Amino acid sequence: MFKPEWWQWVVFGLLLMTAEMLLPALLLIWIGLAAAVVGLVLLAWPELALASQIFIWAGLSVALLVFWFRFLKPRTVSTVGSSAASVVGEVGVLVNELTPHNRGQVRFQKPLLGADCWECYADSMIEAGERVRVVAIEGNYVKVEKVR
């Protein structure tokens, strides 16, 4: 009966991780990483049965995929493509002074609609460094007001 060596698991894992470059879905990399870990475990315990190796690989693959979809992937989701209505109410910091007659820039902690810095205007004077809230989006500009 075939019983893979430790290096075969590592090569299998590297092949899967390399295949991720051809099929970028961020699935094969986790399955390949699990296979490489099985190879390292087999290096430490060479007498591990084939069934145990496959069980460790499958379990670790599932655990890594759950970790990816549950914890890591939500952090990579951007707001590109979301509606302008979802931006109203967001708070940022004014980069330079605003008056009713000149425009400025506001910087947000997280990107809004794909950018973390937006051109803005206001109906009143606001000093640089003040916290401002988005009240409307008009074209490429956001209308802001000072946070009280």
Helix (H) / strand (E) containing 77: none
Cα angle 77-75-56, degrees, rounded to a multiple of 5: 115
Residue where a domain stops, chosen among 76, 108, 128: 76
Indicate the number of domains in the chain.
Answer: 2
91-144 tens-digit pLDDT: 999 998 888 888 999 998 887 777 788 899 999 999 999 999 999 888 888 899
14-67 tens-digit pLDDT: 999 999 888 877 789 999 999 999 999 999 999 999 999 999 999 999 999 999
Domain that holds residue 120: 84-146
Query: What contacts 55, CB < 8 A, 6 or more positions away?
Result: none
Beta bridge partners of residue 146, listed in sequence order: 132
Residue 1 lies in a domain: no
pTM of the model: 0.52
